[in-house]
Structure 1
Amino acid sequence: MADQNGKILYIFDLDGTLADTAPDLMATLDYVMIREGFAATPMQDARSLLGAGARALIQRALRQQGAEVGVEREDAMFRLFLAHYESRIADASRLYPGVEAALDQLERAGGFFAVCTNKIERPAKLLLEKLGVAQRFAFICGQDTFGVAKPDPTPLLRTIAAAGGDPARAIMVGDSKTDIATAKAAGVPVIAVDFGYTDRPVQEFSPDRVISHFSELSAAADRLLG
């Protein structure tokens, strides 16, 4: 993509940052676990289980129940998860309040946008399309896009490049230790939302700024950029 002439690129995580996807993710997890003979997972455990992708979600749920499965069975559960999830990807998932207004405000100020998520690329794009905002993002990176996942900084740096941005003019927005660690490893400032999927307060991971609503994003970015 062409260079964006010094504009600020905002790179967003997806699950727990742009959208509350826990209801559909946890419902799909329950579908897979029950079908495989395991117990359902309490919804209140979502914050500690989500955020690292579907395979990690399955692994964490199994570990929580003290269960072990072989690689072959885990692969089958992963494929079942993806197929079922895509069929109900936006049944209950919604953008967080203020997302579209914040994008409008940042765009008017010269910002542009990308997504860097540990969700697989295909469902990430499908979800953003279903939520009506896919066209807002210059590039959408999933866990499999570059063959490496966050917290490795590679997907973030390559997302910035693919979107036509500059790491020196970029801000990461995420909800977890993983997002914060990724941004720090890439040398990119990071704003954390405090309403996402983390079992510990995001302040503990020392992001550059913390916001509690998307209406605060523009001001936080301005302070961060000096």
Structure 2
Amino acid sequence: MPHSLAIFDLDGTLVDSFPWFLRTINDVADRFGFRGVRDEDVEGLRHASTREILSRLEVPVWKLPAIARHARRLKGEAAAEISLFAGAEAMLRTLTEGGVQLALVTSDSEANAREKLGDAAALFAHFDCAASVFGKPAKFRRVVRRAGVDRSRVISIGDEVRDIEAARAVGIACGAVCWGYAAPAALRARGPDLVFERIDDIAPALLTRAADVRGPTPA
């Protein structure tokens, strides 16, 4: 079936927030009492699942809501430092012009997300923000209901292992991008339906699949 709804993650997928994360994480660790991230830790963490990352950094699970609220506040203050990846807005516009609804599911707040997206925010039909660390499945279900689309025609696109896990939990297709937080090898090991090496690969892949199902246009 063609994809008629694409649910995007924000950080690491549409916006380049990883440098900001690396600059900020140790201050957050000091504030909330978990292990900091050394330079030599970064690559190993990029190959780990979310649960493994939390375990390695000894993050108290009961503190996760407070950590998320604090991170959202810091992101809001640093919005000017976090920009869209080159080509993201053009890709999103091409999808909407091709008849694909866009949704955004993110752990960030909707206000922060709209500021980071800028003019591209107007391309999204659905926002479901402030997702908890493991709360994306519920968000995905809600967006799919709002969109009125069969799950067989939905794909989520993200940059972390938990994005793939959330899609599998809901029964929708998933695409993984290679330019975000998680290492490409870690994403491929989870068997996503599509892997995108470049941001320019997304629209052709989704729209070509739709065209294949529709068949050729009559002469």
TM-score tier by shorter-chain length is 0.7 to 0.9
Is 1:136 matched with 2:136?
Answer: no
Q: 1:105 to 1:202 in 2, by over 3 A?
A: same
Relative to the length of structure 1, the TM-score reads 0.72
Deviation at 1:86, TM superposition (A): 2.4
AA at the equivalent of 1:103: L
Q: CA deviation at 1:79?
A: 4.7
- After superposition, residues 23-102 of structure 1 pair within 5 angstroms as 23-35=19-31, 40-42=36-38, 45=42, 48=45, 60=54, 64=56, 71=62, 79-88=69-78, 90-102=79-91
Shift of 1:101: 0.9
What is the CA–CA distance in structure 2 between the aligned matches of 1:83 and 1:105, rounded to whole Å?
32
Residue 212 (structure 1) aligned with residue 197 (structure 2):
yes
Deviation digits for residues 117-147 of structure 1, max 9, x if unmatched? 2x14x2x4413323303222111112448x9
Secondary structure in structure 2 of the residue aligned to 1:27: helix
Identity percentage over the alignment?
28
8 A Cα contact 2:155 2:175, kept in partner: yes
For 1:47 and 1:224, the matched residues in 2 are separated by 35
Q: 2:130 and 2:158 mapped to 1: Cα distance?
A: 15
For 2:138, the equivalent position in structure 1 comes to: 154
Residues in 2 aligned to 1:25 and 1:40: alpha-carbon distance in whole angstroms: 12
Query: What is the TM-score when the length of structure 2 is the normalising length?
Result: 0.74
* Structure with the larger helix share: 2
2:111 and 2:20 mapped to 1: Cα distance? 16
Contact 2:4 2:100 in 1 (8 A): yes
Q: Which amino acid in 2 is paired with 1:128?
A: R
Q: CA deviation at 1:83?
A: 3.2
**Deviation per residue, 1:20-42 (Å, 9 max, x gap):** 21122333322233456877534
Could you say which residue in structure 2 is the equivalent of 1:3? Answer: none
1:10 aligns with 2:6: yes
Q: State the alpha-carbon separation in 1 of the partners of residues 196 and 26 from structure 2.
A: 31
What value does the CA root-mean-square deviation take over the aligned residues? Answer: 3.6
Report the equivalent of 1:171.
155
CA contact (8 A) 2:176 2:195 kept: yes
Q: Which residue of 1 aligns with 2:217?
A: none
Query: Do the aligned residues in 2 keep the contact of 1:125 with 1:134 (CA within 8 Å)?
Result: no
Change (3 A) 1:137 1:77: closer
**Secondary structure, in 3 states, of the residue corresponding to 1:205?**
coil
* Residue identity in the other structure for 1:159: V
Contact persistence 2:34–2:60 (CA under 8 A) = no
Stretches of structure 1 that go unaligned for 5 or more consecutive residues are 1-5
- The equivalent residue for 2:215 is none
Query: How many residue pairs get matched?
Result: 207
**Residue 20 of structure 1 aligns to which amino acid in structure 2?**
D
User: 8 Å contact 1:149–1:155 — kept in the other structure?
Assistant: yes
